[in-house]
Amino acid sequence: MSGRSFAPEHRAAGFARRLARGAHWLAIALIGAVALTCASQPASAVPSFARQTGQPCAACHTAFPELTPFGRRFKLSGYTLQGGDPKIPPIAAMLMPSFTNTEAPLDPGSQPPGTKTNNNLVTQQATALYAGGIYGNLGGFIQVSGNPVSGQVWLDASDVRYADSFKLFGKDAFWGIDVNNTPTVQDAWNTTPAFGFPEIATIFSAFSPPLTHVESGWGQQVAGAGAYVFWNDMLYAELTAYSGISKTGLEALGEEPGPTPDLLNGVAPYWRLAMEPHWGDHYLMIGTFGMYGQVIPAETFGFGFDDYTDVGFDSQYQYDGDKFSVTAKLTDIMEFQRLNSSFAQGNSSNLNDRLNSFKANASFVWDHTYSLSAGYFSVAGTSDAGLYSANSLTNSPDGDGLIFDVAYLPFSHGSPSPYSTYNARIGVQYTQYLKLYGGTTNFDGSGIGGTHNASGNNTLFLYAWLAF
């Protein structure tokens, strides 16, 4: 679930255009299949994981998409657990209507085409999924998403895995092979970027702090394959190798990378280690993850590569009780940048930069129905006129803020018959920017005011996340 906006530009070759049209028809076919399933057997008309396992959504989620201990193990075991109706294919659909108000209107012309500079009521995303077992021990979470605002359809963050159980040193373990297109989408904890807090966000924003590459630079831009092991219900280790996808390939998958996307050179390794001891209903995870990649900026050859090394540390405490749950999460990502190509082209002022992204958040969920969440985020890094002068008077990437989210999930324990597997998350989210690009007022030196002040980007976001 990306929740993104895109510029309407396509320059694919004929073959890529045909594949892109194929992605559109695939989405239509999946949505049509969901509709037929709903019409013929509405009592089992997904979410597909709930239908496949025979479990309510509350078994896997505190408040979806945040996972419970059972949900994490269901994912690591390959999405293949049975127990429900095996005759219905594991397809699902989601809609995300939303309303966005920013404290100051967006600059005219900066908003997505066909929308207003403020107070936008839109369906910001529609998604069709194949989510569940494929064959035997092979399962997947495959998303084709559409943005009704831009008219784009693309292959969203997806994950296909084969998993099996075995014994190691006399202890039970899972091993698995995973293929995905977004680093961390395969992770079982909600501390990593793909499913971290906030799990849903508006597509309308003027300014936000820059992010590390593992947070924003590789999502749906790469293809990766790797292996993992989860030992003794406690220790997790993974190694995955990613390769870049060309501009033509991205357009074939429905992405809109722009005229000059960055290109990942060669193979980029991703690693993950996590330990989750638990005592009764109390679970504590301490982990690390990271990725190294060489990038050809804007596919401009002849200047070498920019090297990015992202090293993350994360921790999660979760109490998963019968009546309520509490989850607290910390994530700190340090990015070390060796900007050989950008520096040689005059696009960065420094050869070496650093960027640090820190997040702390917590949620309280009562009866899998009422969710209260709050979080703090901070980005800090090296001042660089080449990278940040367009947005920062002080050439700084620094920014921080607060996010609050209140949600109602009426159907986590099952919805009224005959729609017993449907689900919904209806919420209100508020984002307050304390600082952007090193300043609080006039941070870019434009003198325009509005969203060029940090507080002008404060956002009230009302959403309904509907799954059926």
Across all residues in the chain, what is the average pLDDT? Answer: 87
Is a pLDDT exceeding 60 seen at residue 15? no
**Encoded tokens for 343:** 């520096």
What pLDDT shows up at residue 415? 63
Radius of gyration of the chain (CA): 22
Q: What is the pLDDT of residue 262?
A: 83
pLDDT at 316 over 80: yes
Q: Does the pLDDT at position 156 exceed 60?
A: yes
31: domain CATH number is: 2.40.160.10
Question: Average of pLDDT values for 154-168?
Answer: 95
Q: Report if residue 308 sits inside a domain.
A: yes
Q: Is the peptide bond before 198 cis (omega within 30 degrees of 0)?
A: yes
Query: Residue 3 pLDDT more than 70?
Result: no
Q: Is 8 inside a domain boundary?
A: no
Residue 247 lies in a domain: yes
Percent residues over pLDDT 70 in the chain:
87
Q: 5 lies in a domain?
A: no
Can you give the pLDDT at residue 6?
Answer: 30
pTM confidence score: 0.87
User: Model confidence at 260, in pLDDT bands (50, 70, 90)?
Assistant: low
Please answer whether residues 8 and 256 qualify as being in contact, where contact means their C-beta atoms are separated by less than 8 angstroms: yes
pLDDT per position as a tens digit, 71-83: 999 999 999 888 7
pLDDT at position 419? 62
The number of domains in the chain is 1
Question: How far is the CA of 274 from the CAs of 77, 137, 287, 371, 396, in angstroms?
Answer: 16, 23, 4, 26, 33
Q: Is the pLDDT of residue 18 over 80?
A: no
Give the least confident one: 68-72, 107-111, 167-171, 194-198: 107-111
User: How sure is the predictor about 47, in pLDDT bands with cuts at 50, 70 and 90?
Assistant: low
The stretch 289-298 carries a mean pLDDT of: 94
| pLDDT of 36 strictly over 80 | no
Q: How confident is the model at residue 468 (pLDDT cuts 50, 70, 90)?
A: confident
Q: Residue 195: which domain range?
A: 14-467
Tokens of 249: 């390939």
Tens digit of pLDDT for each residue in 354-372? 999 999 999 999 998 999 9
Task: Reply yes or no on whether the pLDDT at 8 is more than 80.
Answer: no
Examine residue 1 and state whether it is found in any structural domain, yes or no. no
* 219 or 37, greater pLDDT: 219
Determine, yes or no, domain membership for 3: no
Q: Any idea which of 23-27, 47-51, 187-191, 377-381 has the lowest mean pLDDT?
A: 23-27
pLDDT number for residue 361:
98
Average pLDDT over residues 34-55: 50
To the nearest whole percent, how much of the chain has pLDDT over 90? 69
Beta bridge partners of 162: 138, 177
Q: What would the mean pLDDT of 386-413 be, rounded to a whole number?
A: 95
Is 422 within a domain?
A: yes
Residue 6 lies in a domain: no
